[in-house]
Structure 1
């Protein structure tokens, strides 16, 4: 008795790739917008002498930058994994 994987089990891999790519695109856009907003607040708070707000805005800028990098890498990672899954 031979046991083999069911290669037709994920029939909607192209649809899954499209949906995940669209969701990660929205995350990337929101992260970039938050990076811009945090950078503006960081600049204004630094120039007006408000160190607490400047620190929070700097942290927000770094978090937004990390989220943008992870979502950009996430698209490539998902495409790689779906490509590997199709070649099995």
Structure 2
């Protein structure tokens, strides 16, 4: 019985990084993403105002369920604003973490 030994061949190190000129329309995509972030922040402010009004009506009308829903809405709106504002920083942080894995 013959033993065949196949040498395992690994490709060379892959070195790929994001570039700005790989695809057409990258600048337009950046503008669209920025506009989406702006819309998200504006909607967060609107949701915060609406939730605060609901919280106020619930507190003034002795309706604990409505007041509780208003408080929850305020927290959700603030969380959404934090995520919209920190999206770029979060993606860059996790990109850097991913680049450190070898």
Report the TM-score, using the length of structure 2 for normalisation: 0.64
Kept in 1, the 8 Å contact 2:48–2:73? The answer is yes
Following superposition, the deviation at residue 73 of structure 1 comes to 1.5
| Greater fraction helix | 1
Aligned with 1:24 (options 13, 19, 37): 37
Q: Work out which of the two has the higher radius of gyration on C-alpha atoms and give 1 or 2.
A: 2
Distance in 2 (alpha carbons) for counterparts of 1:77 and 1:13: 19
Closer, same or farther: CA 64–23 of 1 in aligned 2, 3 Å: same
Bigger relative CO (Cα 8 Å, ≥ 6 apart): 1
Structure 1: which 5+ residue stretches go unaligned? Answer: none
Q: Of the candidates 51, 73, 77, which is equivalent to residue 38 of structure 1?
A: 51
CA contact (8 A) 1:17 1:78 kept: no
Matched pairs, number: 80
1:62 to 50, 75, 97: 75
Provide, for residues 10-33 of structure 1, a one-character-per-residue CA deviation record: whole Å limited to 9, x for no partner. Answer: 443322211100011111111110
TM-score normalised by L of structure 1: 0.73
Q: Is the CA contact 2:52–2:74 (under 8 Å) kept in the aligned structure 1?
A: yes
